[in-house]
Structure 1
């Protein structure tokens, strides 16, 4: 991969972050972003910067479908709950494992691999968040985090750091996000009539396609949507795992690394609130 200018990675980071925010359980942050128009203006700006016509077109479609009136924005919670939320029996899954064929062993391996990715960059799931590591919002945020790191490292001309975060992004796309996002988008198109989520899913699929080419990887897309391999993995009394507040936070064990080849010294980290 030929290194891009840092601005490219800042715009990639923004797109992944906005997509994560859009698919998260609606909250005040999303409401403010939609009503102010910042959500759509930043989405279109960053998509245009990446110079892919299809990505730009899909961002503009999201902008057209996104609500801006406060009353319409309030309806996003009902839409989200109906599609994804346990409180209304939403049946569209936002977890990688739900789209992958395999056994309980392969499912636990997937979760362990993703958790290892997060730990390797001193990240952990935010306190109080009961999401599994394979949740859509977490994978999108993690790619946002890595893209932002890449921008910082390119400014510092840190070739070793750039190589590490580049490999991490390629691996995450090839082994995880790139394998199930096409199936997720397919499910949204088949089962949802909400234009905002339909267009946002199409945007995410194209963003992943662009980055798959950028990092020269070949994810093997899951062929079908199987029954959940985790049906017997969790205790019903433990509660639902769906999104409360998605997000990753710096691990409390500062200085520890999860796996070999982690960057030293630690590259700068982004977070859910900035620099957008």
Structure 2
């Protein structure tokens, strides 16, 4: 039986992994290079990943440490910035949309509800987001789970059973309905566009760790066959008036959340 200390350490390792993913999927800076790619920091993250590998629910290695090691292949920040622009670019329809609600052919008419649900999760824990970020960006979702796992560690340290149940329940539901649902499809798209690059490898890490997380909560991982929402659907939505509803909900969500 695990002690509270062991569970706390595991929660902190999980939080560190979510923080690494959140950082990796943001526009790259020198901090990205230093914390994820530099030899010293990459080695530290590998040690964290190795602890997760040996503490999986099925007793089998999830190869998370190997996926972390693959990140140190990028040569310089300039190459990272170029790759980020190419894949996620600052356009309406990037090659690899990093937004949850862009995945799933049914997502158009569900998008307002999904954005509202995400905003509800964030605001329920007192988090706010700056007005220039979308609540369904993969970086924001990873940052939220980093926050919840840190909160879980605190609850364990304080022996606060109610807080622990609340934070673990929120993690399970958020993984089932959001991050765990779309990550396989997102990573498949990313791997196709950048199979040997930093972001393709970061995607592999995200998939492997998300699979590990879902296994801990005994919930299914989403399908990698989920298709991107056709861009013309959004154009039709604005014609019939739904587009304005999406804009209003996005604004309300943006006013309700920041995952640091």
TM-score if structure 2 supplies the norm length? 0.80
Shift of 1:219: 4.5
SS of alignment partner, residue 63 of structure 2: helix
1:10 corresponding residue in structure 2 = 12
- Cα pair distance change 1:76/1:207, threshold 3 Å: same
- Match for 2:125 among 121, 124, 131? 121
- Cα pair distance change 1:158/1:73, threshold 3 Å: same
Task: Output the CA distance in 2 between the equivalents of 1:122 and 1:38.
Answer: 34
1:258 corresponding residue in structure 2 = none
Task: Output the CA distance in 1 between the equivalents of 2:146 and 2:215.
Answer: 17
Task: Output the CA distance in 2 between the equivalents of 1:104 and 1:191.
Answer: 24
Q: CA RMSD in A?
A: 2.6
Alpha-carbon displacement from aligned partner over 1:119-177 (angstroms, at most 9, x marks no partner): 01000113xx4222111100011111111111111011111111000010000110011
2:132 corresponding residue in structure 1 = 130
Shift of 1:191: 1.4
* Paired residue total: 233
- Cα pair distance change 1:193/1:57, threshold 3 Å: closer
SS of alignment partner, residue 128 of structure 2: strand
User: Would the aligned equivalents of 1:18 and 1:39 in 2 still touch at CA under 8 Å?
Assistant: no
After superposition, residues 237-248 of structure 1 pair within 5 angstroms as none
- Cα pair distance change 1:54/1:194, threshold 3 Å: closer
Task: Output the CA distance in 1 between the equivalents of 2:157 and 2:171.
Answer: 18
Task: Output the CA distance in 1 between the equivalents of 2:217 and 2:101.
Answer: 23
- Cα pair distance change 1:103/1:9, threshold 3 Å: closer
After superposition, residues 1-276 of structure 1 pair within 5 angstroms as 5-33=7-35, 36-50=38-52, 51=54, 52-63=61-72, 65-67=73-75, 72-86=76-90, 90-102=94-106, 104-126=108-130, 129-221=131-223, 223-225=225-227, 226-228=229-231, 230-231=234-235, 232=238, 249=258, 272=260
Task: Output the CA distance in 2 between the equivalents of 1:35 and 1:202.
Answer: 15
- Cα pair distance change 1:66/1:117, threshold 3 Å: same
- Cα pair distance change 1:87/1:179, threshold 3 Å: closer
User: Would the aligned equivalents of 2:28 and 2:77 in 1 still touch at CA under 8 Å?
Assistant: no
User: Would the aligned equivalents of 1:82 and 1:88 in 2 still touch at CA under 8 Å?
Assistant: no
Task: Output the CA distance in 2 between the equivalents of 1:103 and 1:88.
Answer: 16
User: Would the aligned equivalents of 2:148 and 2:171 in 1 still touch at CA under 8 Å?
Assistant: yes
Segments of 5+ residues of structure 1 without an aligned counterpart are: 242-247, 250-270
Higher helix share: 2
